[in-house]
Amino acid sequence: MSRVTPNYVCQSCGAQTRQFFGRCSSCGEWNSIVEQIPSSFERNRKNQRRSSSKKPSEQRSEPISSLQDEVLQRLSSGYTELDRVLGGGLVPGSLVLVGGEPGIGKSTLLLQSATAIALQESVLYISAEESAQQVKLRWSRLEGKESNLQLLSETNLDPVIQELETLKPAVAIIDSIQALNDDNLSGAPGSVGQVRECASVLQRLAKRQNTTLILVGHVTKEGMLAGPKVLEHLVDVVLTFEGDRFASHRLLRAVKNRYGASHELGVFEMQGNGLQEVRNPSEIFLNEKSASGIATIVACEGNRSLAVDLQGLISATTYASPRRTATGVGINRLHQILAVLEKHMNLSLSRHDCYIAVAGGLEVEEPAADLGIATAIVSSYRNLILPAGTVLIGELGLGGQLRAVNQISQRLQEAERLGFKRAVIPQGSGVKSIKDEFDLELLEASNIAKAIVLALQVNPERDC
d(CA 25, CA 44): 31
Contacting range for ligand TYD; rule: CB under 6 A; set: 187-195, 270-278, 305-313, 339-347: 270-278
Position 296 contacts Mg ion (CB under 5 A): no
Q: Which has the closest alpha carbon to 78: 360, 274, 218? A: 274
Residue (15 or 270) nearer to ligand TYD, CB: 270
Per CB under 6 A, which of residues 272..301 are in contact with ligand TYD? Answer: 272-274
* CA atoms within 13 Å, Cβ hemisphere of 433: 5
Residue type, 152: L
Per CB under 6 A, which of residues 318..377 are in contact with ligand TYD? Answer: none
CB of 360 to Mg ion, least distance (A): 24
Contacting range for Mg ion; rule: CB under 5 A; set: 101-109, 113-121, 249-257, 296-304: 101-109
Contacting range for ligand TYD; rule: CB under 6 A; set: 98-106, 324-332, 350-358, 409-417: 98-106
Position 107 contacts Mg ion (CB under 5 A): yes
Q: Which of 11, 77, 94, 108 binds ligand TYD (CB under 6 A)?
A: 108
Identify any residues that bridge with 297 across adjacent strands, giving them in sequence order.
Answer: 308, 392
Q: Could you give the C-alpha distances from 170 to 87, 173, 212, 231, in angstroms and in order?
A: 18, 10, 6, 22
Contacting range for Mg ion; rule: CB under 5 A; set: 19-27, 107-115, 228-236, 275-283: 107-115
d(CA 391, CA 369): 10
Which 3-state string (H, E, C) describes the chain?
CCCCCCEEEECCCCCEECCCCCECCCCCCECCEEEECCHHHHHHHHHHHCCCCCCCCCCCCCCHHHCCCCCCCCECCCCHHHHHHHCCCECCCCEEEEEECCCCCHHHHHHHHHHHHCCCCCEEEEECCCCHHHHHHHHHHCCCCCCCEEEEECCEHHHHHHHHHHHCCCEEEEECHHHCECCCCCCCCCCHHHHHHHHHHHHHHHHHHCCEEEEEEEECCCCCECCCHHHHHHCCEEEEEECCCCCCEEEEEEEEECCCCCCCEEEEEEECCEEEECCCHHHHHCCCCCCCCEEEEEEEECCEEEEEEEEEEEEECCCCCCCEEEECCCHHHHHHHHHHHHHHCCCCCCCEEEEEEEHHHCCCCCHHHHHHHHHHHHHHHCCCCCCCCEEECCEECCCCEEECCCCHHHHHHHHHHCCCCEEEEECCCCCCCCHHHCCCEEEEECEHHHHHHHHHCCCCCCCC
CB of 254 to ligand TYD, least distance (A): 17
141 binds, among ligand TYD, Mg ion, none (CB under 5 to 8 A by kind): ligand TYD
Residue (107 or 375) nearer to ligand TYD, CB: 107
Position 102 contacts ligand TYD (CB under 6 A): yes
Residue (11 or 107) nearer to Mg ion, CB: 107
Position 240 contacts ligand TYD (CB under 6 A): no
CB of 109 to Mg ion, least distance (A): 10
Phi and psi of 270, rounded to 5°?
Answer: -85, 120
Residue (284 or 412) nearer to ligand TYD, CB: 284
- Strand 422-426 to strand 390-392: parallel, antiparallel, or no bridges (unpaired)? parallel
Position 105 contacts ligand TYD (CB under 6 A): yes
Residue (171 or 405) nearer to ligand TYD, CB: 171
Residue (144 or 260) nearer to ligand TYD, CB: 144
Contacting range for ligand TYD; rule: CB under 6 A; set: 106-114, 179-187, 319-327, 409-417: 106-114
Q: Which of 10, 34, 81, 106 binds ligand TYD (CB under 6 A)?
A: 106
105 binds, among ligand TYD, Mg ion, none (CB under 5 to 8 A by kind): ligand TYD
Residue (111 or 448) nearer to Mg ion, CB: 111
Residue (107 or 311) nearer to Mg ion, CB: 107
Position 104 contacts ligand TYD (CB under 6 A): yes
Q: Could you give the C-alpha distances from 273 to 81, 109, 140, 144, 311, in angstroms and in order?
A: 17, 11, 10, 10, 32
Residue (267 or 425) nearer to ligand TYD, CB: 267
CB of 240 to ligand TYD, least distance (A): 11
151 binds, among Mg ion, ligand TYD, none (CB under 5 to 8 A by kind): none
Position 178 contacts Mg ion (CB under 5 A): no
Position 270 contacts ligand TYD (CB under 6 A): yes
Q: How many residues bind ligand TYD (CB under 6 A)?
A: 15
Position 251 contacts ligand TYD (CB under 6 A): no
Residue (116 or 393) nearer to ligand TYD, CB: 116
Per CB under 6 A, which of residues 124..153 are in contact with ligand TYD? Answer: 138, 141-142
Residue (105 or 189) nearer to ligand TYD, CB: 105
CB of 127 to Mg ion, least distance (A): 8
Residues that bind Mg ion (CB under 5 A): 107
Residues that bind ligand TYD (CB under 6 A): 100, 102-108, 138, 141-142, 270, 272-274
